[in-house]
């Protein structure tokens, strides 16, 4: 088993793995995280692959220094600063407007990014030594419980990660509380290790409703799914119309099916990690072309192909 006791040497080694685009499971005060370089889209794709998630979910960027925040978020708010000064490092994740530096695969194409500074010396040293924010979901397989000890991670993900840093038992034991800041208001997206009351004692009332303008008042619904604003369909000859501006998203080769206005290829050698890493950015690019229609090629639902297809099917079901 690749469990390694966290110390100066192993943390340095783990940071090397992160910098090279590998996966490291590491302790935080809430639960163990499955970490990758948050600025390297291919490394982030490996997280989804390892977790076997059937969907893409936006990930939390873990930082080691408050000064890093402005690189990844454009937020300017005294209340946000107050929360940070009171509760970071700690089990509070803030969903904030993102900057262009944050890859689309981290945010699932959303304009917001979730950021937190964990309160665990091993996590902080690892992030610092990696000199990059670490994107990490809880280090469990999809549908399993979140891990609070190194061996929990080893049990389910042992063969999927390059190293598991053992920093003892997570002291909080439940995931961080997530709040979103939008239009000068705070919304609770997930209750967690920091109570709502504690947060409210600093900044006043936070909303528990949802932010999604399409689905007002449906609790639990997050503004976490980006879909292109252009109609999107799976390729079918019946959609080919010379009078329309049509874009095409191929999997691995341009099949020259039609004089498309714009074509994109997710991965020229058919690599699912690269395809996943490109998915949201390519959809954004196609969306910005003012097309009448985006056509997409379906891909085999295997490994990361499952999550990619899930996203495309959802986008194709969107009503206009
Ligand atoms: O305590 C924690 O938060 C742990 C440790 C490892 O930091 N991490 C964790 O990550 O629980 P994860 O991926 O299991 O849960 C993060 C949640 C997901 O439900 C995701 O949808 C939400 O955060 N999230 C992330 N980015 C978001 C965004 N931009 N907008 C809305 N929700 C977001
Ligand atoms: Mg989780």
- Specify the CATH number for the domain of residue 61: 3.90.870.10
Cα-to-centroid distance, 138 and ligand 2 (Å):
4
Q: Is 34 found in the same domain as 133? A: yes
CATH of the domain at 298: 3.40.50.11030
Of ligand 1's listed atoms, the one at least distance from the Cα of 118 is 7
How many independent structural domains does the chain possess?
A: 2
Burial class (CB in 10 A: 0-12, 13-18, 19+), 256: exposed
- Nearest-CA residue for ligand 1 atom 7 is 33
The H or E element spanning position 115 is: strand 112-116
For residue 273, tell me if it sits in a domain: yes
- Angle, alpha carbons 269-272-274 (nearest 5°): 70
Phi first, then psi, for residue 34 (nearest 5°) are -105, 100
- Nearest-CA residue for ligand 1 atom 31 is 224
Q: Is 286 found in the same domain as 197? A: no
Q: Is 299 found in the same domain as 264? A: yes
Q: Is 264 found in the same domain as 187? A: no
Residue 136 and residue 33: Cα distance in Å, rounded? 5
The domain in which residue 309 lies consists of 232-316
For residue 282, tell me if it sits in a domain: yes
Q: Mean pLDDT for each consecutive 10-residue tract of the chain (320 residues)?
A: 93 98 98 98 97 90 98 97 98 97 95 97 98 97 89 92 97 93 92 92 86 42 66 97 97 95 97 94 93 97 92 86
For residue 214, tell me if it sits in a domain: no
Distance of CA 45 to the CA centre of its chain: 9
Structure tokens at 301: 């639902």
The H or E element spanning position 147 is: none
pLDDT at residue 227, rounded to an integer: 78
Q: Is 131 found in the same domain as 12? A: yes
pLDDT at residue 1, rounded to an integer: 59
Residue 88 and residue 257: Cα distance in Å, rounded? 53
Q: Is 81 found in the same domain as 138? A: yes
Contacts of 148 by beta carbon, 8 Å cutoff, 6+ apart: 31, 32, 169, 170, 173
pLDDT at residue 209, rounded to an integer: 63
Cα-to-centroid distance, 174 and ligand 2 (Å):
10
Does the predicted TM-score (pTM) go above 0.85? Answer: yes
For residue 90, tell me if it sits in a domain: yes
- Nearest-CA residue for ligand 1 atom 32 is 224
């Amino acid at each position: 088993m690749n469990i390694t006791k966290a110390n100066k040497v192993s943390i340095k080694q783990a940071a090397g793995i992160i910098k090279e685009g590998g996966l490291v499971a590491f302790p935080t005060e809430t639960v163990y995280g499955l970490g990758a370089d948050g600025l390297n889209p291919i490394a982030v794709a490996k997280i989804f692959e390892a977790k076997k998630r059937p969907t893409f979910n936006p990930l939390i960027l873990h930082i080691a220094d408050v000064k890093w925040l402005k690189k990844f978020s454009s937020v300017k708010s005294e209340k946000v600063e107050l929360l940070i000064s009171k509760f970071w490092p700690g089990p509070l994740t803030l969903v904030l407007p993102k900057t262009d530096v944050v890859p689309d695969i981290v945010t699932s194409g959303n304009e917001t990014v979730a950021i937190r500074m964990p309160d665990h010396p091993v996590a902080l040293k690892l992030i610092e030594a990696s000199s990059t924010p670490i994107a990490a979901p809880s280090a469990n397989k999809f549908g399993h419980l979140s891990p609070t000890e190194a061996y929990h991670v080893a049990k389910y993900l042992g063969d999927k990660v390059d190293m598991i840093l053992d920093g003892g038992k997570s002291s909080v034991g439940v995931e961080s509380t997530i709040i979103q800041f939008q239009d000068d208001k705070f919304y609770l997206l997930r209750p967690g290790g920091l109570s709502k009351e504690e947060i409210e004692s600093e900044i006043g009332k936070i909303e528990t409703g949802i932010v999604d303008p399409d689905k007002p008042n449906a609790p639990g619904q997050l503004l976490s799914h980006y879909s292109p604003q252009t109609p999107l369909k799976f390729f079918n000859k019946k959609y080919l119309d010379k009078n329309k501006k049509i874009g095409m998203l191929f999997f691995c080769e341009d099949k020259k099916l039609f004089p498309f206005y714009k074509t994109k290829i997710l991965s020229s050698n058919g690599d699912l990690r690269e395809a996943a890493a490109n998915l949201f950015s390519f959809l954004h690019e196609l969306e910005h072309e003012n097309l009448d229609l985006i056509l997409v090629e379906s891909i085999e639902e295997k490994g990361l192909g499952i999550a990619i297809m899930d996203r495309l099917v959802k986008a194709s079901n969107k009503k206009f």
